[in-house]
Amino acid sequence: MKGLFLIILFCSLAVVTSCGGSAFNEGENFGNLLDTTGGLTLSQSEHEIGWGQADCLPCHNLENIHLVNRTGTAIDIVAIHNQALSGGIASCASCHGNNGAP
């Protein structure tokens, strides 16, 4: 039983660290995507680890995204966060492109 617990603990830690953890009180911080060449649309050079993946949720927790406006422009961050929560993974591509997924 102890061995199973350790395996589960190890796997859980591996998943969290492989996606590059973040401060939960401020959400994810990848800088201002508007300052990049593609704007909000992700590119392979900006999203190396997850590029080509259609499922964003193994690395991005919907409860922990779009909590702080990092764009430098006036946007309704609460509405954007709520849109991500209600739309789920289907709402990611409408702003961030298909992430290189087929």
The residue extents of the domains of the chain are: 2-96
User: Residue type for 26, please?
Assistant: E
pLDDT digits (tens, 9 = 90+) for 21-67: 444 457 778 788 788 888 889 899 888 889 999 999 998 899 999 99
Backbone angles phi, psi at 12, to 5 degrees: -65, -45
pLDDT the model gives residue 22: 44
pTM for this entry: 0.66
pLDDT digits (tens, 9 = 90+) for 3-27: 665 566 555 545 554 454 444 457 7
> Rounded to 5 degrees, what angle do the CA atoms 66, 43, 14 make?
65
DSSP letter string, 11-52 = HHHHHHHHTT---TTT------GGGSTTTTS--TTT-TTTTT
- The three-state DSSP-derived secondary structure of 58-102 is CCCCHHHCCCCCCCCCCCCHHHHHHHHHHHHHHHHHHHHCCCCCC
Ramachandran region, residue 43 (left: φ > 0; alpha: ψ -120 to 50; beta: rest):
beta
Share of the chain above pLDDT 70, in %: 75
